[in-house]
Every structure is written in structure tokens, then in C-alpha cells.
Structure 1
């Protein structure tokens, strides 16, 4: 694992506790290591393999049968015997595969942990099994990190223990708002966020206007390019475009506008269509594999 599976940022070791560095590649090391964990260069040492090293969390068995040492998740080489290490993140038969480096990914990863490439979209919703390509929208649950279709996620409020304590002291509720799939919402026992009743002026949208003027929304020309529809600058990386799309599409989910008038629901449906069309167009422009 060389990149964060949640945001894709590259991960690096930081030298700690005055530890030495590798003469060959400059990577931070440890006085007890026999080889560089980053490039495999020998330190001409013969230290006994250990489970821990100050500044390093050695949590995984070395892949070499001859070595009894342990390695950490960022180490491409064992620091005891220099055998090449390969992170094996998933043993699921239907686990997604990175389109950049063909590494096998965990279904809960948004980015490849080996090269940082954005993880491919699963074919089916993890909760109901519906094809995601046919769904109006999809999102990643903030608890299990699995991709689900729009029918299987919603916004919920979670009152954590620390928030309960703050609430008891301040008298005001301390909650987190989370986008969760339905199984996680049931597991956590959270409460769905209820939309407030719209003011009377908004509920009268169903009534015909007293004059012949068009509604303001109808007179305003919608953005023309897919970049404008999604509110991003032309040339924005596809990963950022996707995040903008998911943030916008959830605002127009049927559950969010169910309490509004029929005209506002129609406008939400039209905006959903435009967002889906813009996202589909930019995905196709980016080429295969996205």
C-alpha cells in the first residue's frame, strides 16, 4: 500500500527518533533493520527479526517462508531479509481491479492503495444488487465505504458518545450528519434527516401565477456546458468532477423533494437529468476505464 485508499494521496514514511537513513536511496530506516525496506539495499547487518521497531508498526508477516520477521503496510521490501513484499488487500472473488496497475482492490476503497488511481465503479449496488449504470445516482456510504445506488442511501444524524457529553454540558445537541446506506443506518441506529416544511410561498408553486409572466426558474437559461452544469472549471480532474457530481445529485434525490410541490419536484427531476447527462458526457470524454 503506497497511497491512501480513501483520498488517493501518496503515503511516505517520516524519520523518527533520530533513526538512520538508507545510504542508497535516502529512505528513513532503523538501526535494527538489516536491509532498506524501500529499495532492498543491504546494511550488512545480521540482526534478529523483531515484531516491533521504535517509530514503525510492524503488523504483517513477511511473505518469505525463510523469514520469521514482520513488515509494515508501506514496506515493499522486508527490512529483515529483503524479500519483495506485495500488499494483498482482498481475497474476494469479485473484488474490483485497478485500471492503472491491475492491483486487486478492496470494494470499500475509493482509490487504489498501490498507485493512487481512482477505483473503478462497481457494476452493482452493494445493498440491493441493482446495476449502478442504470441508477439515477450512486454514493459511497460514509460508514462501510461501499458504493450503493440512490434508492439505498440517505442522510442521517448520528449522536456520538462524545457529542452526548457535549450536549449534556452545553444544552445543545452535538450530532454528525452522515450519508449512509440503509444497512449501516439500521446498524448504527441513526435518525433520518427530515426536511423542514417549506414556507407557504413555496407550497403555492402548484398554483398558476396570477399574471402571464414565466416563473423566474423558467426564464433563467441553464448552464450549457457539462462543466458549468456540475459547477467545476474545465479540465478539472475526473476524481474531483465525480465528487462534485455526487454532492449535487444527492440534493435532488426524490426523498429530498418529496415534501415540495409538483412543480418543484419536476424541476428537481429535470436538474437530476441534466446532472446525469453532464457526468456521463465528461466520463466518456475521459476515455475508457473511467
Structure 2
């Protein structure tokens, strides 16, 4: 794994048990390896391919028929012959492929573990099989990490470990039920005070266009707009603002509503 499946950040692997490191990329290695498992660089060694290496669970055949060695799951290259590996994730059928490097992805990954590129949106909601392209919004369940449509996820409160307080999570319907979570109720807005001032005299800012809300130029392709929308909507998730005060959390909730409405409007225009 070269990148984190959640955030896409590059992972720095440290050598262990006095094992050497690759001179080309710094990834940990093993005295018996002929090549770097992370970048494919040859070490100039001629060790016979094997099926064991201390510190590595070598349990998969190298995809090269000429190589008799075995590799660990998610090693990008064989440490014996440097053949690039192509991994099928978790036995999932119809697993998405990274649009950047074409590596197979697990549906629960937000980013490719090989190159860090954001994972493509699945074709269907994991809960109801509705096409996600037609959904007003979509989100990744914070428990099972699956992508579901707006009709199949919601904000729930879950007791914290130890029973002290609760935490708020965005969950799919199934996980909410399995965890015994309670849906977060939406409080009705307080009734507005009567105002004798005519509406025209009030200082009401003009409504923003959906393009302005999402921060993209008018006419931007819908696929690019969707990428921007998903990146923005994750910034205002309750877990991201849980440590902030009530006022800032309320602002995040309002911004989430504006982003969802803007995305929905642009999708309707494009259809």
C-alpha cells in the first residue's frame, strides 16, 4: 500500500528487524528480495524466488508465470522478479478501477492505495441499488465506508465507548440499525418576530447562483462539478466540525444544505 485508502496521503514505511531499505524510494525490503516491492527497482540480487520472508506474509502467487515466488497482498511489484501486480479487492465483483492508474479498488476505499487518486463514484447505491448519477446527493457511510444515495443515509447519534456521551456519525440505514443508533432530529426553526419594515427596505443579500456556491465557473463539465461537490461536502461533515462551537456547527450545517441544493440544481439543468 503506497497511499492511505481514506485520505490518499502517501505512507512512509519504515524498515523493521534490521532489514534494508530501497535506495530508490526508501520502502522497506528484505535481504532475500531481488527487487523493491514498492517501486520495482532491481537490487541486482539473484536470490531464488521463495514463499517466505520474515516480517512479510507472502501468501499470493506472483502474476508472472515464469516466477515461482510469492508476494504479500497489495504489494505493487513482486519482490523477486519486479512484475507489476494487479489485485482483486476482497473478492468484490464489479469493483471500481482507479481512473488514474487502473488499479482495482475496494468499494470501501475513498482513495486508491496505489497512487492516492480519489476513487470514482460507484454506479449504484450500495443500499437500494439506485443509480448514484441520478441521486441528488451521495455520501460514504462512516461505519461500513460504502457509498449510498441521499435517501439511504442520515445523521445518527451513537453512544461513545464507555457510555460517556454520544458521537454523531453519518451512517447508512443498515449501519444505523445494526449499531442501534438514534436519528438526529431536526429542530424546527424559531418563529420569526413580526417586522413592520417593508421587505424592500431590508438589507437582504442577493441569492448566490449554484455555480458560485460550488466555486466553479459557469459551464464547467458536470463530472468536474461532481468532483468539486464531493470534496466540499466532506469538509462540512459533522465529524469534521464536532470540536467547534455550536454557532460554527450551525454554519457548517447551513453550508451543507446550500451545497446539496446547488448540486441538485446543476444536475437538473444538465439533464
For normalisation by structure 2, the TM-score amounts to 0.69
Contact 1:230 1:245 in 2 (8 A): no
| Cα distance in 2 for residues equivalent to 1:191 and 1:175 | 10
Using the TM superposition, give the Cα deviation of residue 183 of structure 1 relative to its aligned residue in structure 2, in angstroms: 0.8
Paired with 1:155 and 1:146, the residues of 2 have a C-alpha distance of: 15
Q: Distance in 2 between matches of 1:214 and 1:178?
A: 39
**Larger-gyration structure (1/2):** 1
1:99 shift after superposition: 2.2
Distance 1:53 1:239, change over 3 A: farther
Distance in 2 between residues matched to 1:216 and 1:53, nearest whole Å: 77
The secondary structure found in structure 2 opposite 1:204 is: coil
How many angstroms does 1:9 deviate by?
A: 2.1
| Residue in 2 that maps onto 1:180 | 171
Alpha-carbon RMSD across the aligned residues, in angstroms, is 4.1
Structure 2: how far apart are the matches of 1:25 and 1:249? 35
Shift of 1:119: 1.8
- Which residue is 1:211 aligned to? 196
Residue pairs, 1:175-254, within 5 angstroms: 175-195=166-186, 197-198=187-188, 202-205=189-192, 209-214=194-199, 219-224=204-209, 226-227=211-212, 229-230=213-214, 241-246=229-234
Alignment of 1:30-69 (within 5 A): 30-37=30-37, 38-39=39-40, 41-46=42-47, 49=50, 51-54=52-55, 56=56, 58=58, 60-63=60-63, 69=69
Q: Whole-Å Cα distance in 2 between the matches of residues 133 and 217 of structure 1?
A: 40
Q: Is the 8 A contact 1:118 1:239 kept in 2?
A: no
State the TM-score, normalized to the length of structure 1: 0.66
**Separation in 2, partners of 1:2, 1:134:** 33
Deviation at 1:104? 2.9
Distance, in Å, in 2 between the alignment partners of 1:48 and 1:97 is 30
Residue 178 of structure 1 aligns to a residue whose secondary structure is: strand
Shift of 1:157: 1.8
Change in CA separation of 1:13 and 1:215 when aligned onto 2, cut-off 3 Å: farther
CA distance in 2, matches of 1:154, 1:141: 9
In the alignment, structure 1 residue 4 sits paired with structure 2 residue 18: no
- For these two proteins, the number of residue pairs brought into alignment is 246
For residues 126 and 34 of structure 2, the distance between their equivalents in structure 1, rounded to whole angstroms, comes to 44
1:28 aligns with 2:16: no
Q: Distance in 2 between matches of 1:76 and 1:183?
A: 34
Of Structure 1 and Structure 2, which has the larger fraction of its residues in helix? 1
